[in-house]
Structure 1
Amino acid sequence: MSESDSAAVRESIESNLDSHIDRIQRAVQQPSISVEQRGLREISELMVDYLNELGCDEATLVETDGAPGVWGYYDAGAEKTLINYGMLDTRPVNPDDWTHDPFGGEIEETDEYGRVIYGRGSVKVKGAFVAWLNALEAMKEALGELPVNVMFLLEAEEINGSPHYYDMLDQYEDRLKDADACFCPLAGQGGDGNVTGSLGYKSALYFTLDVSGRSWGRGPQGGNVHAMSNVTVDSPSWRMVDVLSSLTSDNGTHIDIEGYYDQYEQPTEEEREEIRKFVETLDEQTETPYDELWKHLPGLARGAGEVENLTDDLQEDVVEAFVQHFYGPESFNIQGINTGYLGPDTGTKPFILPGDAHATFDLRMPRGYDPEIVRQQLRDHLDNNGFEDVEMEVSGQHSWCKTDPDSDLVQAAQTVISNHGCNLTLWPFSAGGVPWAVFGSKFNIPVLYGVGLGHGANSEGSDEFFVIDGNDTVASLVDCELSHAEIVMEYAK
């Protein structure tokens, strides 16, 4: 990447900044809430329009049994080809919690960041994704052509577990196998100006178990009856308790599904050394006391709850806490259980014997696990323990992957972020299971997601925003888009 090319791309971004902002606003103004099936076709159609504006040779809706996705291909006649995963759906909103219209895309001046764009999806999904498209457009204008070919496979159901993403991937597998890397940049700066990302992702199985009197053939069927009936009528709710009790022991810290541990491989000494070095880096970059570094484990700070101690007092051994977080197999989380009376203002009634019960889970597994094998083990466990009537619905099933830190893509990102005076911290693994990991597992290519300059906040709460002007710590939208372009140019060379 030459300084003159970078300067030319910057000039293009700056001269077209108003239109770039407008494109982001239009995306934010289109609601796209997958759990409510709201606006998903419309946001996909808008992205097809944007890909056509970019000059893609192919840009089309991909119909599925759920929401449509998007396929696009830009042929630059280049040596290297990137796959770009993109999610177009957002989390739900409670307008009462917002001081701005969640779908207004309003621009407002702030004391800390200058101008920002408010709206659901402005930073983590649609807004930052459109910033990436803006960066590609600027490269094309400044350089005459993109330095890489780009394949796009976008979905609008990630929040639902990506139930149809792999169906779309199967349609384009023959094309996708020719790609050299998967790059999905976003506005990746934290409030301290540093950029974080992950080199690996866990396997995952997201599913719901349903117990009902109708499928069981016992208890109330087709509805509830009065609670006094329990002396003579079986309870699907208690059957769900029995199901849950059969799955784990020791407060959920040991998984009792037959054969589950057959795929487990203990972390190697090389993997432990990688964690040790990472913890040392984290110690240098934060002001946190060493014995409290476990508080930086992914997920602990997401939500209103506070964690004061880890399982089995792992906080006394920081390195082991990180090792178990990434390589331990016992991550069998109950997201929610619901049956019968749920309290005031829920539309449910007290003093009933419920006719059904439901429990939602996410099971996250370390490298080496095939989620399809675990899925069958779970079904076999239910059947072999007398729970044949229990229905299992899988909403998401993702494979694991790990990217070599010495790969060209990672090295390009390291170079660019460093050139901008920022630190790039790449976690050895993420604790999450994600759809874009499939490109690493299926095609054996590097995967880098979420890396780039730019900042925003509140993606899971109210008043989500995406920074336009920036400050001395976090980058402007211009530098956000420029960093995306520079990583591509550095990788292409």
Structure 2
Amino acid sequence: MTIEELHSRIDKDWSKHLQETRKLLRIPSVSMTGEGIQDTADFLEDLLADMGAKHEQFKAKKDSHPLVHGYVDAGSDITGIVYGMYDVQPVGNLDEWDYPPFGATIVKQKPFGEVLVNRGAYNSKAALAGSLLAAKSMLDADQLPINLHFLLEGEEELGGRSFPDFVIKNKSKLRKADGAFGLDFSQNRAGIPSVTLGLKGCVYFDLIAEGKSRGGPEAELHSSDAVIVESPVWRLVHAISTMVDENQDPAIDGLSDDVIPPSKTDVELAEKLAGSINEEDYMKELGVKRFKIEGTKEEIIKKYLFEPSVNIDGLSAGFEEDGTKTVLPPSAKAKIDIRIVPNMTIKGTHAKVMAHLKKRGFTDIRVRNYEDYPWSKTNPDASVSKACVEAMRYHGYEPDVWPTTAGSAPFYVFDQVLGIPWGYTGLGFGGKAHSPNEFCTVKGMKDYEKSVATIFFKFKEVAGGN
């Protein structure tokens, strides 16, 4: 059976696949609250069982969200790992949604045609379902070209341990795989797909200032007392203001000391990317009017890809409702993430933050750490990389190859734990991840399933399978 015949099989199965995907999307699976997590894991395990896969759930701790693992033996001498995430962010303010956030509503939206609106439509439950259902169509036709491990995690948004702990526990088995795939919708507004071969790491922590640590307020006071009582809110603002310069670039002492220059190949890929990126389209996709820096497209893309960043994710203190209430709060909290690049380390980054604050006298600022991701990188010449590029070309596209990107995901388990290459690609388009009215296009969902089939076939070809 040819690739085109398999694509026709997916066309035949599409109506059923769309309904299965909508069923999955209607289960909430909210990472932060745990709502629907177990139901979603069970649904996915049932899908794997229906494919004839060996299946199991794994939890790093009793209260962890389960990692769902499935293995399909296609009798091939080539094995791939498919990563997927089924957890999603909270829906936020319901009033900002035009449709129910877990209704899997299909509507027409200019200029995209039919779109499916749902939390997780774009990031990334719809693609996860498409990966499984495309593989099922191939199995039903007895045409799956490679053996597959599916690793489906429910803690990506939390940085949980079930996924990495499962990989470490099963290292001897999983490291025999020839490569790993992060399959997802990757087309931009112009329809060009991307192939991503690297990710920044993410170090996430809270900075907390408390009045009691400096003899200040232990409970809320009247704001008139601010003339004689120190505010922990101002204390925190002063501390975090030292962490960036006037351009909001990192100013933490020594933060970039371990950063290594990108390779010649990565620089060439970045420069090629700059030539294909339309700044206006990209700003429109982000929903912004300008970038914070000036420079050529080459300078902007290199900064985006190869430099660390310090970001405030949230600030909270005192009275935050509408209206007025004159108070001196007893504490304040900032949520911070630092995106790290080769060869920065998580341990080193934490140490430099602490040393930076200590040097400036902020020893009273308390730090609360979370699970972090190291950076991750794949060689552009690896078989997985080539398969991803060749698959997109088969569908008529010359993909944008990103040597790395500013986002983070736990793919370090592939290159740094298992020692195998990985690639991230797929047809399909969506938008508004983590935001109200998150969506993906219906046409893109079907195209995505076809691209999954193509990727598996191309991987067998370039990996030398028989």
TM-score between both structures, scaled by the size of structure 1: 0.84
Would the alpha carbon gap of residues 278 and 127 (structure 1) be closer, same or farther in structure 2, given more than 3 Å must change?
closer
Tell me if 1:97 matches 2:85. no
| Contact 2:80/2:178 (8 A) holds in 1 | yes
Tell me if 1:339 matches 2:313. no
User: What are the within-5 Å matches in structure 2 for residues 196-235 of structure 1?
Assistant: 196-214=194-212, 216=213, 218-221=215-218, 223-235=219-231
Distance 1:264 1:407 in 2: 24
Report the counterpart of residue 434 of structure 1 in structure 2.
409
Distance 2:149 2:411 in 1: 13
Distance 2:75 2:380 in 1: 27
Report the counterpart of residue 416 of structure 1 in structure 2.
391
Distance 2:110 2:221 in 1: 58
| Contact 1:212/1:356 (8 A) holds in 2 | yes
Would the alpha carbon gap of residues 32 and 182 (structure 1) be closer, same or farther in structure 2, given more than 3 Å must change?
same
Would the alpha carbon gap of residues 412 and 236 (structure 1) be closer, same or farther in structure 2, given more than 3 Å must change?
same
User: What are the within-5 Å matches in structure 2 for residues 169-248 of structure 1?
Assistant: 169-214=167-212, 216=213, 218-221=215-218, 223-248=219-244
Report the counterpart of residue 454 of structure 1 in structure 2.
428
TM-score between both structures, scaled by the size of structure 2: 0.88
Report the counterpart of residue 30 of structure 2 in structure 1.
33
Distance 1:430 1:351 in 2: 44
Q: Aligned with 1:16: secondary structure?
A: helix
Report the counterpart of residue 79 of structure 2 in structure 1.
81
**Aligned residue type for 1:492:** K
**Residue of structure 2 aligned with 1:46, choices 43, 46, 61:** 43
Report the counterpart of residue 367 of structure 1 in structure 2.
342
| Contact 2:58/2:162 (8 A) holds in 1 | no
Distance 2:139 2:404 in 1: 34
Distance 1:269 1:115 in 2: 42
**Residue of structure 2 aligned with 1:305, choices 259, 268, 288:** 288
Report the counterpart of residue 379 of structure 2 in structure 1.
404
Distance 2:99 2:273 in 1: 39
**Aligned residue type for 1:233:** V
Q: 1:329-348, CA deviations, whole angstroms, 9 ceiling, x for partnerless residues?
A: 4x112222221233516xxx
How far 1:116 moved relative to its partner? 4.1
Q: Aligned with 1:397: secondary structure?
A: coil
Q: Aligned with 1:91: secondary structure?
A: coil
Q: 1:254-282, CA deviations, whole angstroms, 9 ceiling, x for partnerless residues?
A: 4233x4233122445554344333323x1
Q: Aligned with 2:350: secondary structure?
A: helix
User: What are the within-5 Å matches in structure 2 for residues 317-356 of structure 1?
Assistant: 317-329=296-308, 331-344=309-322, 350-356=325-331
Report the counterpart of residue 7 of structure 2 in structure 1.
10
Would the alpha carbon gap of residues 456 and 264 (structure 1) be closer, same or farther in structure 2, given more than 3 Å must change?
closer
| Contact 1:163/1:395 (8 A) holds in 2 | no
Distance 1:484 1:333 in 2: 35
Would the alpha carbon gap of residues 265 and 140 (structure 1) be closer, same or farther in structure 2, given more than 3 Å must change?
same
| Contact 1:403/1:446 (8 A) holds in 2 | yes
Report the counterpart of residue 123 of structure 2 in structure 1.
124
Q: Aligned with 1:263: secondary structure?
A: coil
The runs of 5 or more residues in structure 2 that have no matched partner are 462-466
| Contact 1:198/1:430 (8 A) holds in 2 | yes
Q: 1:18-44, CA deviations, whole angstroms, 9 ceiling, x for partnerless residues?
A: 321121011111012223332222212
Would the alpha carbon gap of residues 219 and 464 (structure 1) be closer, same or farther in structure 2, given more than 3 Å must change?
same
Report the counterpart of residue 158 of structure 1 in structure 2.
156
Superposed CA RMSD: 2.8
How far 1:352 moved relative to its partner? 1.1
Q: Aligned with 1:434: secondary structure?
A: coil
Q: 1:142-182, CA deviations, whole angstroms, 9 ceiling, x for partnerless residues?
A: 125x3222222222232334465433433333333222211
How far 1:235 moved relative to its partner? 2.2
Would the alpha carbon gap of residues 240 and 147 (structure 1) be closer, same or farther in structure 2, given more than 3 Å must change?
same
**Aligned residue type for 1:96:** D
How far 1:366 moved relative to its partner? 2.1
Report the counterpart of residue 464 of structure 2 in structure 1.
none
The runs of 5 or more residues in structure 1 that have no matched partner are none
Q: Aligned with 2:32: secondary structure?
A: helix
Q: 1:362-388, CA deviations, whole angstroms, 9 ceiling, x for partnerless residues?
A: 111222112222123323444555444
Tell me if 1:464 matches 2:438. yes
Distance 1:169 1:25 in 2: 29
**Aligned residue type for 1:29:** R
Distance 1:156 1:372 in 2: 25
Identify the range of structure 1 (118-127 vs 134-143) with the bigger mean alpha-carbon deviation: 118-127
How far 1:219 moved relative to its partner? 1.5
**Residue of structure 2 aligned with 1:276, choices 271, 279, 289:** 271
Identify the range of structure 1 (270-279 vs 149-158) with the bigger mean alpha-carbon deviation: 270-279
Kindly tell me the number of residue pairs found equivalent between the two proteins.
Answer: 459
| Contact 1:76/1:148 (8 A) holds in 2 | yes
| Contact 1:399/1:438 (8 A) holds in 2 | no
How far 1:61 moved relative to its partner? 4.1
Q: 1:388-409, CA deviations, whole angstroms, 9 ceiling, x for partnerless residues?
A: 4433223341122222222222
| Contact 2:256/2:344 (8 A) holds in 1 | no
Report the counterpart of residue 137 of structure 2 in structure 1.
138
Would the alpha carbon gap of residues 247 and 191 (structure 1) be closer, same or farther in structure 2, given more than 3 Å must change?
closer
Q: Aligned with 2:180: secondary structure?
A: strand
Distance 1:385 1:35 in 2: 34
Report the counterpart of residue 22 of structure 1 in structure 2.
19
**Aligned residue type for 1:344:** D
Distance 1:249 1:96 in 2: 37
**Residue of structure 2 aligned with 1:443, choices 403, 414, 418:** 418
Would the alpha carbon gap of residues 405 and 264 (structure 1) be closer, same or farther in structure 2, given more than 3 Å must change?
closer
Q: 1:77-122, CA deviations, whole angstroms, 9 ceiling, x for partnerless residues?
A: 4222222221112233233233322212234466866654332212
